[in-house]
Structure formats: structure tokens, C-alpha cells
A and B are shown apart, each in its own frame.
Chain A
């Protein structure tokens, strides 16, 4: 039990099976994986290896076909839709490849969006920490890709989640911006102990992480 207490995320024989026509596709084929509190992990593998599905299941965006997922020791398979949403809001911060900011909101409003009780000071502080001083009121369309991704990291952090899940966070960025983003994530992990999992194709990005997990055909190799 002591060992389990250190795990933010536990995959226990997790299967995700999609039906494509007559064919069954095992996106996840019995994954067993523990993510320790404070770890910085990257998941690599070819397209279709199941790494994005692993991230979606880990972030309770998708439910496993079989097997169990424990988040902070709690089995997520029994959660209602509302409880899932609450878990996502409070325990998980998502960073997407394509930033996925709301185009009609300013940077500051985007960061405040997941908060039930908006804390303006905290949002401003986070944006400043991301190096976005003076750009709080800019719309996403007025920001560069690297800046947008930093806004989305601030949004992911706003509710102090147990876990940051990043799906190809550098996928749309040039090398310089990719390094900035990975540097920010590394700092968050090292200085503040935030647990981070990234899915990436980019070996340069993976180098920033402490542990690299390779996936193939729905399982970890």
C-alpha cells in the first residue's frame, strides 16, 4: 500500500478496443503502468501505437474497455459523468498539440476558464511566470504558437492539478519554441514537483524527461 500511495496514476491491465467495420483494433492491449508522484515521463512510439489513447484514458477523457485506472488511488471506472468532469477539472491539466485556446477569449480569460471561483491574481501570476507579461489581454490569434502553448500550460496549472498530460506539446512549434516549452515543463517538474506525462514523436522533447516509455501495438515495450 505504501508503494501505491506514491502513484498518481496506475494502469491495471487496461484494454481499449475499437471496432472498425469487422475488425477489432486493440488501441491498448493490457497496459500495466505506474506513474509516480513527481515523475516526468514521455511516451514515444509510432503512429497508431496507442500512446494518445493511453493519455486519453489516463486523463479520463476515454474509459477503458477492460481493466482499471486508478487516479490518486481511486478507481475511476465507477465515476459518474459529473465526477469524471470534476476529476478532470481539479486533478488533471491538459496541454494539447494545437493549444486549443478559446479564440474569443483573451489569454487571461482562457487561463481563468477552468476555475469555478476565478482568482485573477493567480492567473496573472501564472501568465507572468510563463513569460507573458503585458500579453494578458491578447487574443490567441494575436499570439505566436509558442506563446499560445504557454497560455495553455498556465490554463492547465490553474487548479493545481496532480497531473499534467501533454499530447505532442511541441508538435506545432519550431525547435527554439519547442525547447522553451519543454524547459518550462521541466522547471515545473523539478522546482514544483508537478507530475507530467508527455506523448511525443520528437526525441529532442523526450530528452527533457526523466523516463521514456516506448509503445508499440497498444502495449509498452
Chain B
């Protein structure tokens, strides 16, 4: 019969009090895990969809082309650079993408040339796909549309805000932009990081991003958000932990005489300290565990409800091991910290005075 099993029994002794104290930790952990889990899931989802889109590397003009907002011609890759890149034996499965602005019926619209139609959520079929803004202007499926003097038949539509956008196959769009690409994607024979350097050294004026570069960019973007959201949710956990200090102080005061007896029958101050800390740690650990389970259920519900909007996302992406371990360790560790002062008070009790306590 060790002193540590007393800690377990003490938790069961005042069930309602223990449960209410744990509830604070449960709420804090649930809030933290759900909010951080959602942003983590979002980050992972963005990373996966970005890296699926490209091959092993993505090559752009080093002045920073490639985004739909780019308008300056200097941000395109020159045909010479593209030829050079295409001749590099380290690269294969090279795909050209192009985005440019053009005049259309007196306004500006974007033309996107793609070789990967899976990135566009099409209503209809691939080939010549227009945004709903253009479809509403009378260029619906089956109708003719003239871009840069060439006539096409619209095969599909997709929604893209209020912008006028036409998506074509790369080989049709490229000649309209003097064969200048916005970006290239390619697979590599060998380590993408090594080949990235080789390509950048061989071809002038280009930037090569690998999948890990892209992941890092997304991480950088999302980590601030995760930190902010996590910080707010941590306040809930902190409130729960502070209530542990309060309850443990009450427990220790209530058990003054018992602590005196423990010391009288041969337990050291350190053993008494340890048993109180263990009790606090148990509140944190059990509360954390329950909080994690509740959070997992809530996240799974969110996945089921929002699956149509956010696509295929798994619970494991929202609840990575680091989050589970961090939250359990954090809740337990903070609870031990909260137990320190009450435990220290208990261990310092004068035995004779403690035994006299009513």
C-alpha cells in the first residue's frame, strides 16, 4: 500500500469536486484541440492540394511570376529559358502553365492555360471552360467565344468570384502569349533539392521551388494563425489549471490531520509532496484525455458536416501526434505546476500541529 495509491483514492473520495475540477481542464483542452486541430487540418489540406498540383519542382521567373495578379510581361519565363529547362535530363514530365490578361469585349479577362484540369472544379467538360461571370454574359456551354481572334466553343463553366476567366489547354493558350509560360512544373530524377540548385545554376533568371519550399511557405503563413488561435484557446486551459490550485489548497487544508498522520507513521515530507503532485497530475491527465476524446468527436463531426466544402480531409490530419502529445503533456505538466504550492504547504506542515487539527 504505497502513498501514491492514496492519490487515486483521494480523487474518488470527493467525486463531484474532482469531476468539476477536471471539467475546467476538459473544456480548456477541447477548445484548444478543436481550434488548433481545425487550423492544422486546413494547413495540411492546403499543403497536400498544393503539392499534388505540381510535380517535384515548380519553376518561375525569378522576378516573381506565376500568380494570377501578375500583369507585367517581364514575369514570364522566356521560350529560350523553357527550351533550356526542357533539355535538362534531370527533369521529366514537364508541364507549362500560363496566365495572362487580355482584352475581351472592352474589359479585361484572364486566360489560363493549364495541362492539369484536375485543379478546376468544372461543370461540363474540359477544353474551353469559362467562369460563371462570362457564362452569365451569354457564353454558356455550346456557345462560341472569341479570344485573341480565335474562336472556341465553350465546353464547361466554373465559379471564380466576379472575375472573367477562361481556362484553355496550355498548348492553345501559349501561342496567344508569344509562347511565354508563367510557370513550369516537372518531376525530377534524383533529389529535388539537389536538382533545384542545378536548374537554378544552369538557367538564368529563374526560381525553382520544391514541394518542401511550398510546404514551408504554407507553414509560415499558417503558423501565425495557429499561434494566435492556440493562444486564445490556451486561456481556457489556464483558467482550468488555476482552479486546480484552488481545489488542491482546499483538499490539503481539509486533510491537514491526515497529512500529520502520514508523517507520523513514517512518510517523508518529500513523499507527501509527491502524493499531492500526483493527485494534481492525475486531474490534469484525465481531464486532458477526456478533452482530447471530446475534441476528436467534435472534429469528426465537423469533417462530416463540412466534407462537401473542404473536400477529403482525415481526422488524423487535424489531430497530429504532436498535438495529442503536446496537449496531454501540457495539461499534466501545468497541473503539476498548479499542485506545487498546495503540495509544498502540505509537506511543510508541522506534524504535532497537524495532528491537533480538527
Contacts and interface: CB of A to CB of B under 8 A. Distances in A.
Contacts of B264: 59, 61, 88, 94, 100
A11 interface: no
Contacts of B355: 61, 96, 100
A102 B6 contact: yes
Contact of B266 (A88, A96, A100, A105): A88
B196 interface: no
A172 to B, nearest CB: 14
A113 B10 contact: no
Nearest to B269: A81
Nearest to A158: B265
A102 B257 CA distance: 10
Interface residues of B, number: 23
Contacts of B269: 81, 85
A184 interface: no
A104 B12 contact: yes
Contacts of B258: 100, 102
A179 to B, nearest CB: 25
A62 interface: yes
A96 B261 contact: yes
Given A90-B266, A104-B6, A155-B265, A113 B352 contact: no
Contacts of A85: 263, 266-269, 271
A176 interface: no
Contact of B9 (A86, A88, A105): A105
A102 B267 contact: no
Contact of B351 (A61, A89, A118): A61
Contacts of B2: 118
B257 A100 contact: yes
A56 interface: yes
B261 to A, nearest CB: 4
B352 A62 contact: yes
Given A102-B6, A104-B10, A94 B265 contact: yes
Nearest to A100: B261
Contacts of B271: 85
A105 B261 contact: no
B1 A105 contact: yes
Contacts of B265: 88-89, 94, 113-114, 155
A115 interface: yes
Contacts of A89: 265-267
Contacts of B10: 104
B62 to A, nearest CB: 69
A191 interface: no
Contacts of A61: 263-264, 351-352, 355
Nearest to B263: A85
A62 B265 CA distance: 14
Interface string A99-143: 010111100010011110010000000000000000000000000
15 contacts: A61-B263, A61-B352, A81-B268, A85-B266, A85-B268, A94-B265, A96-B261, A100-B264, A102-B258, A103-B13, A104-B9, A104-B13, A113-B265, A115-B1, A118-B1
Given A56-B352, A155-B265, 11 more contacts: A61-B263, A61-B355, A85-B268, A88-B265, A102-B261, A104-B9, A104-B10, A109-B1, A112-B1, A114-B265, A118-B2
